[in-house]
A and B are shown apart, each in its own frame.
Chain A
C-alpha cells in the first residue's frame, strides 16, 4: 500500500525517535515509568506503520507470518516469566535482536554495497553475532544451565586474541572482495567470540554483562541504520548504545567494580583467596523461627535485608506480610536495599513492588547504612554477598571493593538461610561466626511462614 508519501514516512520516523527519547527519559520516575514504556511502544508502532503504508510491500505474507510467529513466542514468554527469572529473559530478547541486526546486514551485503557501507556491514555482522551468542551464554549462566562461575582455561586470552585477529582479517577480505562467503565466516567468528567473551565472566558480574551486550546490540542496530540509510535505526541504536554504556558503568560502580575489571578480570585473576581454611567446621549459632519471633517482639527498629534467595523461594510476599504485621504493632520496619540485591541492579525493588511493599519502605544502601547503629534487629533473608564483610577486609576476594550493607553495626542480626553455602559469588561469609549473629536454617519461605505463625500467635 503506497498511501503515504516519503516525507510523511520521514516525519513518522522523527516522531518515533522523539518518543524513544521520551521513553528512556520517563523511566527516571517510578510513577511515570509505565506511561513512558507505552510511549516507546507507540514510537515503534508508528515507525513500522508509516513504513508499511508508505511502500508497496513485497513478500507481505512471509513477513506477516514471521511477525505473527514472533509475537506468539514473545508474548507468552514475557507474560509468564517469573520475576526472578526476568534478567535471563531480557538477555534472550537482547540476543535475538543482535542476531536480527547481523542477518539484516548480511542480506544487505548481497546487494553489492560501496566500500564505506561494506565496512559498516562487517562491523554490524560481527557485533550482532557476538551479541547473539554472548546473550545466550549469559542466559545459560543465569538459568543455571551453564555454571555461573567464571570459566577460564590456560590460553583463553591467547585464543580470544587470535580469533579477533582472524575476524579482522576476514572483515578486510570481505570488504575488498565483496564475497558473501567471507561475510558468513565473519558472522561465525562473531558467534564464537561471543561465547568465549562471556564464559570467563562469573558470579555477580554476569547480570552486568547483559547491560553491556544490550549496548552492543544497540551499536549493531545503529550500524544497520547506516547500511540501510535509515535515520531512525541509526538514532535508536546509538541511543541504546550510549545509554547502555552509561548504565553498565553505573551498575559496575554500584558493585565497586570497573567494566574492564569485569570483562577482563578473569584473565588476570589468580586463585581466589578467601577465608576457606577450615571455615566450615567453626560453630554458628542457630535459632528456630519461634526464637526469631520473640526477638522481633522485643525490637522496635527492624531492618529487613532481602536477597536473591528470598525471591527464589518466592518468599517476598511473606516478607511483605511480616513487615506489615510488625508495622501495625508499632515497630519501625524498613527494607534495606543493596543496589545489586537480586540478580541485577534494581531487581529487588521490582520483586518487592510485586509483593505490594510500599515504595517508601524501600531504603537505599547509603541511607540505611547510617541507620544500622540505632537498629535493634536486622533480618537478612536469602542475602549473603551484599552483607559480606570480605568486601571490605579481604583484598583477594572477588567482591573486594563492593560497597556492602553494614549489618554488623546493629544490635542483633538474624540470617534466614537455606544452608551455610556461599552465595552466588561463591565466597565464605565471616559474619556467620560473629557472636551477635544467629542463623535460622531452612527454605526462606518455610521459615518465614513459621515465623509469621509464631508472630501472629504472640499477640
Chain B
C-alpha cells in the first residue's frame, strides 16, 4: 500500500470509530470494550500470513507463537463478549416489571 492510501484509510477509519461508539450508554461500556478487544484479535490473520511464509526456524517459531497468542485473543474475546451479552438479551417467559421502574 502506498502511504497516501494508508493515510486516507486511517483517517476515515478514525472518524468511523469515533462516530460508531460516541453514543453508546455507559450501561454497555464493558461489553463494547470487550467487543473491540475481540475485533483486534483479527491480528490472527496477520500472524497466519507471516507464519505460512516462514522458512527459517526462528521466524517460524515467532510467528507460530503469534498465531497462538492471536487465537487466544480472538476466540476468548468473542466468547466472553457473548457470555456478557446473553444476559442483556430479552428473556422470554419473564415479564418485565414496567410498573416498578420510572
Contacts and interface: CB of A to CB of B under 8 A. Distances in A.
B43 A101 contact: yes
Contact of A243 (B3, B20, B70, B98): B20
Interface in A343-359: 344-347, 349-350, 353-354, 356, 358-359
Given A70-B67, A236-B40, A211 B14 contact: no
A70 to B, nearest CB: 3
A150 to B, nearest CB: 22
Contacts of B67: 62-63, 66-67, 70, 100
Contacts of B102: 334, 363, 367, 371
Contacts of A25: 20
B75 to A, nearest CB: 4
B28 A27 contact: yes
Contact of A62 (B31, B55, B64, B96): B64
Size category of the binding interface on chain A: 35 or more
A212 to B, nearest CB: 10
Contacts of A254: 26
A69 to B, nearest CB: 6
A241 B17 contact: yes
A97 B29 contact: no
Contacts of A210: 33
A336 B99 CA distance: 16
A74 to B, nearest CB: 3
Interface string B80-100: 111111111111001011101
Contacts of B60: 59, 62
Contacts of A41: 38, 78, 82
Given A247-B32, A346-B31, A24 B14 contact: no
Contacts of B44: 44, 48, 67, 100
Interface in A216-233: 217-218, 220-222, 224-226, 228-233
Contact of B40 (A75, A217, A337): A217
B79 to A, nearest CB: 4
A298 interface: no
Given A78-B79, A107-B59, A356 B43 contact: no
B76 A93 contact: yes
A101 B48 contact: no
A99 B69 contact: yes
Contacts of B1: 226, 229, 231, 234
A350 B54 contact: no
A350 B31 contact: yes
B36 A107 contact: no
Given A237-B40, A240-B17, A346 B29 contact: yes
Contact of B27 (A52, A89, A247, A349): A349
Given A34-B82, A93-B38, 8 more contacts: A24-B17, A66-B68, A97-B73, A100-B69, A218-B40, A238-B9, A250-B29, A356-B91
17 contacts: A21-B16, A34-B85, A78-B83, A93-B38, A93-B76, A100-B73, A104-B43, A104-B46, A116-B3, A211-B33, A221-B46, A239-B16, A239-B20, A243-B18, A246-B18, A359-B88, A362-B27
